Amino acid sequence: MSKFKEYLKDFIALIYPEVCGVCDNVLHSHERYFCLDCIIKLPRTNYHQFPDNPIEKSFWGKFKIEKAAAFLFFQRGEKVQHLIHQLKYGGRKEIGYEIGKEYGKELLKSSVFSNVDVIVPIPLHRMKKKSRGYNQSEMFAKGLAEVMKIETDFDSVERVAYTETQTKKKRFARFSNVESIFKVVKPERLEGKHILLVDDVITTGATIGSCAAPLLEVKDVRVSIAGIAYRD
């Protein structure tokens, strides 16, 4: 980088300092998107290390899932909620990408997740994606894919119905709100593959389960699940 570009970058940083996506503190020059303190203290679930973890149990009797996990614990009013809010509504799509890279390092240590063939993010309806400008789950998928050296597929599954946000819905309403809203439009691209289906927050598993159902109808497909956060 030239001296002029370095000076320009420093000048812009003085006016528009980059802040941590978790705590909003101004980042140091060697930090990117998150401060070191937050990266260290984020509440990790480590569920990728444990069989029959709470996320996997939520799918028992519903879908045959190979493995399910999430990177962080979500608690209302805590730092992870702020991180997710910045990602989804604050326009900071890079947060999803960086979190994906961090989680990808951990998933590579799992024998199940390291055998994934393709990463598929939960698709947004085209109207919601147009309004937001991006799909936060796609950004998470891109970060995972870069570290895990796995391809992504953003086109084989579509969201065919526009649904209201799940955030304030109760458990039964969540499931009825997402019935039959996803369709596999290019099944031939997924045949015989181990798919990692990813979303931002897993709560009841209603949304991600609704997407897993048509995927599991594709010939010889296996599905594992990963989220940025798990909300109990």
pLDDT in tens, 156-172: 999 998 775 555 545 54
77 and 34 share one domain:
no
5 and 67 share one domain:
no
Domain count, the chain: 2
106 and 76 share one domain:
yes
The CA-based angle 146-148-153, given to 5 degrees, is: 65
35 and 128 share one domain:
no
Structure-derived torsion over alpha carbons of residues 48, 54, 58, 60, reported in degrees to the nearest 10: 70
61 and 37 share one domain:
no
Q: Which of 77, 58, 78 is nearest to 68 (CA)?
A: 58
Residue 10 has pLDDT above 70, yes or no: no
Q: Residue 38 — very low, low, confident or very high, per pLDDT cuts 50/70/90? A: confident
Q: Report percent pLDDT > 90 for the chain.
A: 70
pLDDT at res. 175: 46
Which range of residues forms the domain containing residue 59?
43-230
118 and 5 share one domain:
no
Q: Residue 112 — very low, low, confident or very high, per pLDDT cuts 50/70/90? A: very high
Q: pTM for the full model?
A: 0.85
134 and 63 share one domain:
yes
pLDDT at res. 168: 53
Residue 12 has pLDDT above 70, yes or no: no
17-27 average pLDDT score: 85
50 and 106 share one domain:
yes
Residue 58 has pLDDT above 90, yes or no: yes
Output helix, strand, coil percentages for the chain, rounded to the nearest 5: 40, 20, 40
56 and 118 share one domain:
yes
Q: Quick check: 138 and 154 in contact, CB under 8 A? A: yes
Q: Which of 59, 83, 61 is nearest to 71 (CA)?
A: 83
